[in-house]
Amino acid sequence: MTEMESALRDGEEKLATSKCLLEALQADKEKLQQERDAAATAAAELRQKSEQRISMATEALNTEFSAVELEQATRSFDEVLKIGEGGFGCVYKGSLRSTTVAIKLLHPKSLQGQSEFNQEVAVLGRVRHPNLVALIGSCREAFGLVYEYLPNGSLEDRLACANDTPPLTWQVRTRIIYEMCSALTFLHSNKPHPVVHGDLKPANILLDANLVSKLGDFGICRLLTQSGTSTAATTLYRTTTPRGTFAYMDPEFLSSGELTPRSDVYSLGIIILQLLTGRRPQKIAEVVEDAVEKGELHTVLDPSAGAWPFVQANQLAHLGLRCAEMSRRRRPDLAREVWTVVEPLMKAASLTARRPTFAASSALPDEASTPSYFVCPIFQEMMNDPHIAADGFTYEAEAIRGWLDSGHDTSPMTNLKLAHRELTPNRGLRSVILEWQQQHRQYHEDWR
């Protein structure tokens, strides 16, 4: 009997222990469920706050349009007004509140379409730059985005001379490189989070009536986060699934999934080489690098752009190749390195574009018969006021002064440092040029 009582007590104790353990587990379960519910509630609140912030930004900077307004603006989405189509949806030209606009309709049932809508509103709704496409407003009920209308279409179409449009001159191409560098530098320095476009290509660069370029399509752009405590620009990255157009995508982004500002630099490098050569992006860096090494860069330049000045073309070729380096560490920094090359080139190109050619201003002889030593290496035009620089070469005074005033201390021809900044008038050459002009002017008069 004693043994039975002892066994019974043991059983009761074990049962009590099990009961206590079960109650403890039940309490832990209830606690975990409460924490889960609290986390879900917090996540929902964060999502709601995020949507409210986006909505507030949209209301503050853009106009909210109704679906009916978009339908009326496009004449019920008339196919005649469709100016673009892709996996994201369609783009229509429309007239909205007495303004010509471009209306992008994203697929509302597509998760990608919803994501792109939110990205465009979040980024373009809070940033403004002369070389970013302006987001005028949006329509959340129709997943519609309303942009300024840019009548000259995309850079991709202009390089292909689509619809028999005239080719872009080398001056315009140089300015486009400058404008894209400016836009990217602005995005990469955005606070508190830098913005990487992630899909930079000619199809996403649009041109206005004056051929001013504007970067658009921010549907897959990314806001970057800081890794660790470092403030170095190279530590900024975003790990994401690679999306975009393969030929313009950073090779390291493709292999690692890490998107950084220098991913955009790679894409810019490919575009620079395309603007120089007019070629397709596939293996373009190899073609240009081979031509540069052989001293035959002139053989791959796009002749439809006009006579590229050797100095500008050579500098842009080297810059494009540096930007398109396979290793992201070897690519130049936009603000500190790319900008210092591009800005003076743009200024020199602008001076050339403003200056009338001799053929237009004074009916001088055909440039094909002009002696090469009469031509300024920078402006690629016959010199009117030739000056000798410290490198021994003769330049048009306005051109070489513009070069020096832009901060250069090297020779435009040799890239070696100049011993001084003094310029000497080349009166002998100027006399020869004037005599040659007079002879040819008399020749043309005799033939009239």
Third-level CATH fold of 64-148: Phosphorylase Kinase; domain 1 (3.30.200)
Confirm if 291 and 299 have CB atoms less than 8 A apart: yes
pTM, two decimals, is: 0.67
Q: Which two tokens stand for residue 13?
A: 């104790």
Domain ranges of the chain: 64-148, 155-354, 358-447
Buried b (16+ CB within 10 A) or exposed e, 425-441: ebeebbeebeebbeebe
Q: Walk along the chain (448 residues) and give the pLDDT tens digit of each residue.
A: 676 767 777 777 777 777 777 788 888 888 888 888 888 777 767 666 655 554 544 444 568 899 999 999 999 989 999 988 876 789 999 998 888 999 999 876 665 666 777 777 777 777 888 899 988 888 888 889 999 999 999 999 999 999 899 999 999 999 999 999 999 999 998 887 888 988 999 999 999 988 999 998 876 677 665 543 334 344 444 445 555 578 999 998 888 888 889 999 999 999 999 999 999 999 999 999 999 999 999 999 999 999 898 889 999 999 999 999 999 999 999 989 999 999 888 888 877 665 443 333 333 444 445 777 788 888 878 899 999 998 888 889 998 998 888 888 888 877 778 889 999 898 878 888 888 888 777 655 555 5
Distance, CA of 54 to CA of 223 (rounded, Å): 14
The active-site residue out of 199, 217, 264, 391 is 199
Distance, CA of 215 to CA of 248 (rounded, Å): 15
DSSP at 316: H
Is 10 marked active-site? no
E strand intervals along 30-106: 63-64, 82-86, 89-96, 99-106
Say whether 104 counts as a known binding-site residue. Answer: yes
Superfamily assignment of 155-354 in CATH?
A: Transferase(Phosphotransferase) domain 1 (1.10.510.10)
Domain range 358-447, its CATH number among 3.30.390.10, 3.30.70.260, 3.30.40.10, 3.40.190.10: 3.30.40.10
Distance, CA of 219 to CA of 422 (rounded, Å): 52
Confirm if 331 and 265 have CB atoms less than 8 A apart: yes
